Structure 1
Amino acid sequence: MLARKKLLFICFLLLSLLTTSIVTTFLSTEEKAVSSVIPISDRDRVYTADQSSNTVSVINPATNTLLGRITLGNSRPNVLSPLYRGELNVHGMGFSPDHRTLAVISTGSNAVTLIDTATNGIKGTIYLGRSPHEGFFTPNGRELWVAVRGEDYISVIDPKALKEVRQVKVASGPGMIAFSSDGKRAYVCSSFTPELNVINVKSYQVMKKIPVVSPFCPNIAITPDDNEVWFTHKDIGKVSILDTKSLSIKNVLDTGAITNHVNFADNTNGKFAYVTVGGLNHVKVYKRDNHPELITTISTGELPHGIWSSGDGTRVYVGLENGDAVDVIDTIKQKQIARIPVGYMPQALVYISNAVSIGEGRDNLKSPTQMLTHNIAFKAHKGNDAMGNLTIRDLGEVSGLDLLVLGLKPKQEYGLYLVGAENSKEIITAIKTDAKGNGMGQATGTLWERLKPLTHFEEAKGQQLVIAPKNAQNPIDEAVLVMVKPCC
């Protein structure tokens, strides 16, 4: 009888353990399913890497308001003097899996700055090789991998020790890294080589090299289900899609001039990919399946660049490189619903759910004072299909100017001319177009007072801006692009 009771007790104990295991597994699965949809809250943050002001802008997505900025360096253009302190060209971003650390990459000072998301305080800075571009943490949080674009390797950083611990050799000019959710693979695109590298994370070895359609990829992202890797080709205006099971390219999409970044949003309406097309001031929206379908195009501000979705997939945030702002897209209605001013020239953008675990998350932020930015659009002249955009930023004693042109004659030099009422002319800056007839140029100086009247057309007093061949004798008659009136 005693033996039978012992046997029954053991059976009951085993059954209890089995039941507990099943329930725990079930709950874990349910919790995982629930945790994958994170409603927008005041504890979430959107961050932009502001390349020209060398700041990180911090946004509360629950209210779509700018809380303030984290200053990492002085505003450009103080780039020709020795840089003893601070960072230059704040550009790339990544974050830890626990959402407690933001990694900010500065291409000009070769730096990775780690920021505490709750306090906005700097944990430390690591200096690397030439021009690091983008970086991200491994899914277990133990390492931070940074693509050192000016070299031929990935820098592997110990985020606790704040030091580089190894280098992983890849194709020249690595642009960005995307990890599979299990942390076993890393996908690395290149900015100089028409090749995608697939890396075994455990061995740090390249397991496959995949030829791609162009040598210039600035951005890469993996779908939430791990089935596809999407990566952009900025130089030719395309997006490639890799099948992660076969490790082969399954689709190449024609997206448009200056295709910048890509990200994803899954919600009650389906699974979507969002692509920023800088040259067209558009975000293209694709429904994801075996044959991605373009379902709509959403107009944005000037030169959309970085992009990221909210934790519940109901919003997408888009950094406007020449608009110095962030556009908010409602992914259910597929339309732009808000615009938030940020720092000068936002590049990468990330959305971090539950970034602020305690407190209000306003420590160490500088007041969100208004940046002075004006945009002037250019339209085609004399029947051509060209277009252009000029951004003027007031930097205090000097001004910064960024010019973008598309669709002009290839490999030709053009000037941006300020033409006066009596046909006086002054060349502000000059550019040379690439093989596609596109070009970007910059200028710095005491430009604000001279160009400010053009941002208020009634005050222009006969002045206008045109783009004409360099050394044009009569820029008005030879103009290929003319200012849109009114300009702003």
Structure 2
Amino acid sequence: MKRPLLLSTLLAATAFASAAWAGQAPFAAAAPDIPVSHKDRVYAAEQFSNTVSVTDPVDNRLLGVIRLGEPQPTNFSPLYHGQLLVHGMGFSPDHRTLAVVSIGSNSVTFIDTATNAVKHTTYVGRSPHEAFFTPDGKEVWVTVRGENYIAVLDGTTYEEKTRIIVPAGPGMQIFSPDGKYGYVCSSFNPETVVITVADHQIVGHVPQASPFCPNIAATPDGTQVWFTLKDTGKTQVFDARPPFKLLTTIDTGPITNHVNIVHNRNGIFAYVTVGGLNQIQVFRTDDFSKVATIPVGNLPHGIWPSGDGTRVYVGIENGDQITAVDTLTNKVIGSVAIGQAPQAVNYVPDAVPEGDGTQNLQPLGIAGQTAHLTLQALKDGKAASPASGVAPTSVSLFDQGLTQVLQASATGLEPKQPYVLALSGQADGGGTLQPLAAFMTNPAGAAVVNALGPIRQFVQGDARTAPRFLVIAPGTAAGPTGAAVQIQAQ
């Protein structure tokens, strides 16, 4: 009676061993893979609902949200004490603590992954962007993007213990898997610096093709570092070891957002989210060839692999979703409705070692209420068809109760030119325009545009208000404006 049981156990162990190919970023290649299970959690930091969504990856089911703050206009109050613009995210090497950065309240909130309870909140300098633990868990480095330093927090007390001066506007940091180096890219200066973790000294400089780097990742084999450039739509790669030589520059597309690394049986791959094209691009790390382009939805942002590298999860910023992709087929295998405008995403294996891990979670509530629109380019007076190859501008109206936050992922425009997002009384974009927001496109002819107000009522119309239509036109808020170049799709 025992032999069949023993045989089945051996077969299961053999199958597991054959599926395990290497450790996943941010850990070293020698780290064991962790199969997807109900103990794992996928977290997304949601900027406009000020929430962190918590998803079970086995069945791609939202368990609830951790509410760190309130929507507008509550968070305008001088007495408001919640978090604002929940944005960045990292986790501890033991998978027990989540570090969540809120840009607007200059804070890092530390959350217990097993109970979803807030353990501590540390306030740092102006506009922090990302936080991550060193591989030994002894420190947490926080890029303070509104200033010129890394705030180094104690990994146990979470109190700031020192600062590392870097070029102004540090965007994100990540560490070599062996814990020797920290790599810090910049959002204001065209330079990435390499810092020794042991003594906090800058030992390397890597030129960036442009200033605006939001995200950086190291390969688990310790050989490469990849970083994205949101302003010019490029992704760059450099040698993770001295002299930190730049290896290649890849044109990935407008609003290139985040990058992460997956190791599976086919090799080591970089997955890059390209917000302006609504896709993930997948590259080999040995020859930098593109092997896949995956449509995933409007404005993909943060991305993170599962503990065994069989999946990546990506936050769809203008779709209020988190989407799962099978990394062996590079096909979408599921989507989950989450909070408003997901930014950073973390997949934390074995986050909940016991129990169901649903304590302190709340339902989505108003955070799940969003309307979606698209704008199409005008060509010869007519809206361009999808076959034109130009990705449409996606627009989301995130409900805040009395008002909405409007966010447009504008693409297909002239580089470095002023435009207005406006309301028109005509479906063709003609007539007098009422500007909602003025913006300047980046060198890739794209921009992420925000506005706030009772916009849903104006666009959709009601018994008291004639419907109006969103358009983009060249010009400034002070005027005059030119003819609309993009109009609301009907």
Query: How far did 1:345 drift?
Result: 0.7
- CA deviations on 1:392-447 (whole Å, 9 max, x unpaired) are 12221112211232232442232422325897756251323235343333222222
Q: 1:449 is matched by which residue type in structure 2?
A: Q
Is the 1:415–1:471 contact (alpha carbons within 8 Å) kept by the matching residues of 2?
Answer: no
Choose from 318, 339, 345 the match for 1:343. Answer: 339
Is the 1:319–1:347 contact (alpha carbons within 8 Å) kept by the matching residues of 2?
Answer: yes
2:131 corresponds in structure 1 to 135
The 2-side partners of 1:293 and 1:100 are apart by 36
The 1-side partners of 2:282 and 2:459 are apart by 36
Is the 1:415–1:470 contact (alpha carbons within 8 Å) kept by the matching residues of 2?
Answer: no
Choose from 69, 80, 92 the match for 2:88. Answer: 92
Is the 2:230–2:254 contact (alpha carbons within 8 Å) kept by the matching residues of 1?
Answer: yes
Given the superposition, is the C-alpha separation of residues 234 and 421 from structure 1 closer, same or farther in structure 2, using an over 3 Å criterion?
A: closer
1:74 is paired with a residue whose SS is coil
Q: 1:337 is matched by which residue type in structure 2?
A: I
1:136 is paired with a residue whose SS is strand
The 2-side partners of 1:77 and 1:46 are apart by 29
The 2-side partners of 1:435 and 1:278 are apart by 13
Query: How far did 1:96 drift?
Result: 0.4
Q: 2:126 is matched by which residue type in structure 1?
A: R
The 2-side partners of 1:470 and 1:191 are apart by 26
1:380 corresponds in structure 2 to 377
- CA deviations on 1:57-97 (whole Å, 9 max, x unpaired) are 00000110110000111124545432541111111000000
The 2-side partners of 1:166 and 1:204 are apart by 10
Is the 1:305–1:321 contact (alpha carbons within 8 Å) kept by the matching residues of 2?
Answer: yes
Moved more, 388-397 or 215-224: 388-397
- CA deviations on 1:319-362 (whole Å, 9 max, x unpaired) are 01111111111111111121111111110000000000121100
1:182 is paired with a residue whose SS is coil
1:380 is paired with a residue whose SS is strand
Q: Using structure 1 for the length normalisation, give the TM-score.
A: 0.86
1:254 corresponds in structure 2 to 251
2:261 corresponds in structure 1 to 264
2:62 corresponds in structure 1 to 66
Larger radius of gyration: 1
Given the superposition, is the C-alpha separation of residues 33 and 412 from structure 1 closer, same or farther in structure 2, using an over 3 Å criterion?
A: closer
The 2-side partners of 1:293 and 1:105 are apart by 34
Choose from 451, 472, 487 the match for 1:467. Answer: 472
Q: Does 1:411 align with 2:411?
A: no
Q: Using structure 2 for the length normalisation, give the TM-score.
A: 0.86
Is the 2:48–2:398 contact (alpha carbons within 8 Å) kept by the matching residues of 1?
Answer: no
The 2-side partners of 1:304 and 1:33 are apart by 27
Runs of 5+ unmatched residues, structure 2: 1-21, 385-389
Name the % identity: 47
Moved more, 203-212 or 163-172: 203-212
Runs of 5+ unmatched residues, structure 1: 1-29, 455-459
Higher relative contact order (CA 8 A, sep 6+): 2
RMSD (Å) for aligned C-alpha atoms: 2.8
Choose from 402, 406, 410 the match for 1:401. Answer: 406
Query: How far did 1:468 drift?
Result: 2.8
2:457 corresponds in structure 1 to 449
Q: 1:228 is matched by which residue type in structure 2?
A: Q
The 1-side partners of 2:375 and 2:427 are apart by 19
Q: 1:272 is matched by which residue type in structure 2?
A: F
- CA deviations on 1:11-65 (whole Å, 9 max, x unpaired) are xxxxxxxxxxxxxxxxxxx999895221100000000000101000000001101
Query: How far did 1:200 drift?
Result: 1.0
Moved more, 176-185 or 441-450: 441-450
2:441 corresponds in structure 1 to 434
Aligned residues: 450
The 2-side partners of 1:428 and 1:33 are apart by 52
Given the superposition, is the C-alpha separation of residues 116 and 275 from structure 1 closer, same or farther in structure 2, using an over 3 Å criterion?
A: same
The 2-side partners of 1:54 and 1:425 are apart by 36
